[in-house]
Amino acid sequence: MGLDAVEIVMAVEEAFDIRIENGEAEKILTPRQLIDLVMSKVVVATTSVCLTHRAFNLLRRSLLQHGDWKRAQIVPDANLNALIPRGHRKSLVSDIARGFGISKPPQFVRPTWMNISLLLGSVLTGLIAGFAAFSNGFGALAVWFFIGVAIFTAGFAIRFTQPFQREFRREIQTVGDLARWVMTHKANLTNATVPAWTRDQVAARVREIIIGVLGCKPDFSEDVNFVKDLGLG
């Protein structure tokens, strides 16, 4: 889709709290088809779906503002680890959360291999210390040497490796997961009820969006072609 088409689709999604798939958008040739698609979605909308879509729309807009991604890349199933470079994750997610008025962004964790290495390293260090204590005649105290050194080593290693906490948590692996996190943490995301739309209201709002994006005359028919008649690029 061209930039104008993307802008129209995003504006419609945000205006009606819906989500339009790329495949659906590519099939729209006339304003009437766009209006009918919106009507099919707002009629079946529920409060939970509305909240999810609102959070996803807000998150996608924020991601597009903060990065060079294309709209097609930011879909609910997109993997965050593949989408966002490791070195920019903390600052990016913090900026997004701050923009939503969320004081505490989601926490990041160390890679699994690092956690395993820290555990094995702490145990090994404790065993070495315990064996040394036992060899020097401390006997039963060797167990306490093992426990104390292992705990101390683990604590030091955890503190030392905090800068390496750059991986998303298990429950936040996709854009959809992050959108659900936004939904549960952002205050005043939406009203408790879903607004009811008439076709005249939808048609008027869609027409307003088309005119705003394309700068065309307001008296066009719903059956005109976006590309041939309205100059959609």
Quick one: which of 48, 61, 88 has its CA closest to 190?
48
What's the rounded Cα separation, in Å, for the pair 200 and 70? Answer: 32
Q: What is the pTM of this model?
A: 0.60
The answer to whether 32 and 223 have CB atoms below 8 angstroms apart is yes
pLDDT (tens, 9 = 90+) of the chain, 233 residues, equals 577 888 899 889 888 888 888 899 999 999 999 999 999 888 544 455 567 778 888 899 899 888 888 888 899 999 999 999 888 899 999 999 999 888 888 889 899 899 899 999 999 998 998 888 888 877 778 888 888 898 999 898 888 888 888 899 888 999 999 998 888 788 666 554 556 678 888 888 899 899 988 888 888 999 999 988 888 86
Quick one: which of 24, 2, 188 has its CA closest to 13?
24
Show Cβ contacts of residue 172 under 8 Å, excluding neighbours closer than 6 positions: 80, 106, 178, 181
* DSSP assigned state of 104: S
Helix (H, G, I), strand (E, B) or coil at 183: helix
